[in-house]
Amino acid sequence: MSTPNQSRNTNAFFAQAGVSFAVALISMLFAELYLPVDPWVRAFLGLNTMFLVTSAFTLAKCIRDAQESQYVVSRIDQARVDKILAEHDPFRSVS
């Protein structure tokens, strides 16, 4: 049984993703701080920015989990674990 070809990201790609995320977040926070509006509008925009960041991380995790669950090896391993758990009797005496 062979494992699926999993794409591995390079360190440069991770760095690019991290830097672009940081630049986007810092520029958004800078815009919120220097926007000529009332403080409650700034607070509202700040909460929306925080919600957007956390939901982006959650969406990325859900997409990653969905892709990982499609691998045949992962499904076979999960079926084996399910079978072991179904056959396990915790009240059986060990001889």
pLDDT on residue 4: 52
d(CA 78, CA 68): 12
Domain boundaries, the chain: 11-87
User: Ramachandran region of residue 92, left (φ > 0), alpha (ψ -120 to 50) or beta?
Assistant: beta
Average pLDDT, 10 consecutive residues per value, the chain (95 residues): 61 88 92 93 93 92 82 76 85 72
Q: Are 25 and 53 in contact (CB under 8 A)?
A: yes
- State pLDDT tens for residues 63-82: 888 887 777 777 777 788 88
Each residue of 52-69: b (16+ CB within 10 Å) or e?
eeeeeeeeeeeeeeeeee
